[in-house]
Amino acid sequence: MMIELRHLRTLVALRDTGSLVDAAERLFLTQSALSHQLKDLEDRLECTLFVRKTRPPRFTSTGRRLLKLADEMIPMVRTAERDIVRLAGGEAGRLHICIECHSCFQWLIPAIDRYRSHWSEVELDLTAGFNFEPLPALVRGDLDLVITSDPVDVPGIRYVPLFRYEAMLAVSRDHEWAGKPYIEPLELIHETLITYPVDRNRLDVFTRFLDPADVDPAAVRTAELTPMMVQLVASGRGVACLPNWALTEYLEKQTIVVLKLGATGIWGTLFAAIREDQYDSPFMEDFIQTSIETCFNNLSDIKTVDAVGGKSL
């Protein structure tokens, strides 16, 4: 019958994304490839795996049986791979992590938890780089990994892309814009913009949306933490630009609504900045891999990045 792991990974991606198109993107394949692949598998098993007419696709009992198999096996493979990587390289290392983006706690904490259980010998530390420049600290060796959406070319520093996300404008559900698909820069001219307390040239909403249109909002106020910003937005004290994945939980509670920035939206990429020399160390490689996996498990509507001057997945 010759089921291969490839087939199982495809089925899982299909379930997780809900469409062949999105599953294909996540697997770095085309929609056509997946269609053929699943058709071949169905032909060989002599049965259908899922109903294509519905959205999301409905899996048949056979499809569900294979998904069950996949859910058992893929983590086993992952664990084995990790073990092999550990057998190859040293087990110990230091991983001092710094985040620039407050929202990142949301996925970083689970990622670190998962990582720690496999790499007990790695010395982990996590700091927030709001009051200092983390990049020089990374170069010096005070830090080992910086999470940033704002790569600056520095010799010896490598940016490994984690995922792409869309920057969204959060507004109160009572706001006059609620229901609009997107807003233009000029419309912000009478609004209060709530941001993280960092330099404005490190905020996408300025560098990629307002500044190109030469627009300034009526006022800018800052808040340290995402829940606080959402609270302010919900109570009509202003609007805030945040990554889509940081907002999904509030969207579900319907305290806020979101709009695209411009008709096509503003997309960013989150990177792990590391030193060249640690690029190949097993414990680093696995941390990044674990982070990416955790992100795709926990965050909605994020996209893969092929590889931007980094190694592919």
Partner DNA sequence: CCAACTCCATGAATAAAATTCATACATTAG
Partner DNA sequence: CTAATGTATGAATTTTATTCATGGAGTTGG
Instruction: Number of residues interacting with a copy of itself: please give it, by CB under 8 A.
Output: 25
Of 18, 51, 56, 80, the one binding a copy of itself (CB under 8 A) is: 80
Residue of the chain from 3, 29, 126, 313 that contacts DNA (CB under 7 A): 29
Q: Toward a copy of itself, which CB reaches closer, 5 or 109?
A: 5
Q: Does 304 bind DNA (CB under 7 A)?
A: no
* Residue 28 near residue 292, CB atoms below 8 Å: no
Strand-pairing partners, residue 221, are 194
Partner in contact with 33, chosen from DNA, a copy of itself, none, beta carbon below 5 to 8 Å by kind: DNA
Q: Which of 21, 47, 152, 178 is the binder for a copy of itself (CB under 8 A)?
A: 47
Among 36-44, 150-158, 232-240, 286-294, the segment contacting DNA (CB under 7 A) = 36-44
Nearest Cα to Cα of residue 4 among 70, 50, 60: 70
State the minimum distance, in angstroms, from the CB of residue 29 to a copy of itself: 13
Contact with DNA (CB under 7 A) among 31, 60, 127, 231 = 31
Residue 72 in the binding site for a copy of itself (CB under 8 A) = yes
Stretch that binds DNA, among 22-30, 72-80, 155-163, 259-267 (CB under 7 A): 22-30
Pick what 152 binds: DNA, a copy of itself, none; C-beta below 5 to 8 Å, kind-dependent. Answer: none
CA pair distance 118, 218, nearest whole angstrom: 49
Single out the residue of 102, 106, 99 nearest to residue 126, CA to CA. Answer: 99
Q: Is 255 in the site for DNA (CB under 7 A)?
A: no
Should residue 277 be labelled a site residue for DNA when binding is judged by CB under 7 A? Answer: no
Q: Which does 263 bind (CB under 5 to 8 A by kind): DNA, a copy of itself, none?
A: none
In whole angstroms, give the CA distance from residue 263 to residue 259: 10
One-letter amino acid for residue 194 of the chain = I
Place of tokens 């995922």: 163
From the list a copy of itself, DNA, none, which binds 39 (C-beta under 5 to 8 Å, kind-based)? DNA
The structure tokens listed for 103 are 């929202």
| Binding of DNA by 311 (CB under 7 A) | no
The size of the interface with DNA (CB under 7 A), counted in residues, is 24
CA dist., res. 83 & res. 117, Å (int)? 12
* Residue 312 within binding range of a copy of itself, rule CB under 8 A: no
170: β partners: 240, 258
* Residues in region 51-80 near DNA by CB under 7 A: 52-55, 57
If the CB atoms of residues 42 and 187 are measured against a copy of itself, the closer one turns out to be 42
146 CB-contact burial (10 Å; exposed 0-12 / middle 13-18 / buried 19+): buried
Please give the residue ranges that form the binding site for a copy of itself (CB under 8 A). Answer: 1-6, 45-47, 61-62, 65-66, 68-69, 72-73, 76-77, 80-81, 83-84, 87-88
Please give the residue ranges that form the binding site for DNA (CB under 7 A). Answer: 4, 6, 19-22, 24, 28-33, 35-40, 52-55, 57
